[in-house]
Amino acid sequence: MPRPFRIAALQPRTFEPREHVRAWEALLARIDESIAGHHLLVLPEAAIPGWALLSRDAAAALNLPADEVWFQALADRARRSGCAIAAGIVRRDSDGALRNELVLFGRDGSTLAHAGERTASGWFARGRGPAVADIEGVRVGLIVGHDLARRDLMRGLAGVQLLIAAAAPRDTGRVPTFEASAESDLLAARVALLGAWGIVGGKSGSEGGLVRFCGGAGILDPAGQWVVRAPADQPGIAATEIDIDAAPGSALDFASLPAMRAEDTGRDAATGHAAAIAFDPHPSAVESMERVRALVGAAVASGARLVVLPDLAGTDPRAVTAAETLPFLRAVTEGSGITLFAGLAERSEGQTFKTAYAIEDGQVLFEHRQSVLDRDERAAGFRAGDRAPQIVRTALGAVGLLSGAEGLALGTPAGAGIAVWCAGDAAAPVGGTARAIAIEDGVTVVAAGSTSRAGGAFVVDATGRVLAATPPGDALVASARLL
């Protein structure tokens, strides 16, 4: 039986930090206009007093009120309305240090949880990290800012039904658009990984001459797809009613994941030209392979010397197998000057693995059995490999090879300057997850998925900037020169 839960994400206009009194009054007015009829209202990151505070000295000069003033006003509104409030607040320690936090007030006005951005950045000190709380039987997770790019922090959020993020989408282009924001992509990927609903507040405008926000307050379904969003260029609110029990939980078994790798001290630089191909196998093996030949040829013609195909096996152990397909892929690479990566089903001694292959000049250079399987892959009868992702030495440098669900939960092997991800139909949006890998590991990512709405092909640089991407629905090549 559905359990309705009414939620809303607020998107106020920005004020400069020196205007914090006006900003606070305007925010309270927006809350009073919006809060009625909801179980949860979410405010954006650093809604109080603003994100662009520049330094602890600059913040001290603003003569801000004590944190308790903000807390009391929000708690009173939560209690009077019977609506929980999650608010992004910049907290100040006794020594003046600033912390980027998300505070959750219960429907009775009590303080249920604090999450703090653990990844120290700019003028914010290191916080406590994500938090988990309960809103009258609904298990919620709270996460702040750059922590969305920390895959190791996701394990502690396993089992939440709703992920609340304080990570206001930022714009980096000439026209405000939340579609290109790293924050939006990261949140979509994390929500899908957890199999939870997601919600984030947004901002409209700029702060401090340093950052322009691009709206994008919204609510995501457990597949990482946006249900509703506020506009990109003006204040607004995103609200809807969800069935909170429809959250299926993570498709990965977090308890069985391999241990996280230790941090490395450096990586090879990524150079050259790379391409990823979005593709779905056709029922006809002959037609499918001819289409692969044409797409690989297009990638080569674009200048690519490293080409990535998706995981072609999907959830059918009998579909695209290594025994049938490897000879064709070897022939495609012979004399082409490329290194080709693809994921296939490998049958060995009565077991079926999902195996990614690196093929160069007609020969198999390397093979890696996928070590992490999602729920559907396990149900289909695939067996996980017993080795973590490995390094492949290629003409473009040291490549870390990730297959399928490994891209969702494991790090790029130490020393790799490029992460190649044969993603296929991953259990989270490929684009957002590719950006998460790039940002956390500091590597270029070449990721190939299916043609589904959550798939696509992407080349992403080590800062998370998308160099090339394919639109949903088409078998196409994303090709880019690595800078």
Long-range contacts of residues 119-124, Cβ cutoff 8 Å, at least 24 apart: 119/145, 119/146, 119/147, 119/149, 119/150, 121/145, 121/146, 123/53, 123/54, 123/55, 123/56, 123/59, 123/98, 124/90, 124/98, 124/99, 124/100
pLDDT digits (tens, 9 = 90+) for 387-417: 889 899 988 889 999 999 999 988 899 889 9
Q: Which of 276, 303, 216 is nearest to 434 (CA)?
A: 276
Instruction: Classify strands 98-105 and 84-92 as parallel, antiparallel or unpaired.
Output: antiparallel
Percentage of residues of the chain with pLDDT beyond 70: 95
pLDDT digits (tens, 9 = 90+) for 22-64: 989 999 999 999 999 999 999 999 898 888 777 777 777 788 8
* pLDDT confidence band for 266 (50 / 70 / 90): low
Percentage of residues of the chain with pLDDT beyond 90: 64
Instruction: Classify strands 138-144 and 131-135 as parallel, antiparallel or unpaired.
Output: antiparallel
Are 4-250 and 272-482 equal in CATH topology?
Answer: yes
Q: Looking at the predicted structure, is the pLDDT value of residue 260 above 90?
A: no
Domain residue extents for the chain = 4-250, 272-482
pTM of the model: 0.91
Q: What's the whole-number mean pLDDT along residues 343-363?
A: 93
Look over the chain and give the mean of its residue pLDDT values, rounded to a whole number: 90
* pLDDT confidence band for 141 (50 / 70 / 90): very high
pLDDT at 270: 67
CATH class of the domain at 272-482: alpha beta
Q: What's the whole-number mean pLDDT along residues 115-139?
A: 91
48 contact partners, CB below 8 Å, separation of at least 6: 20, 23, 24, 27, 70, 87, 88, 89, 90
Could you please state the CATH topology (level 3) that the domain comprising 4-250 is classified under: Nitrilase/N-carbamoyl-D-aminoacid amidohydrolase (3.60.110)
Q: How far is CA 28 from CA 34, 88, 147, 215, in A?
A: 10, 14, 27, 19
Residue 324 — φ and ψ, nearest 5°? -85, -30
pLDDT at 265: 47
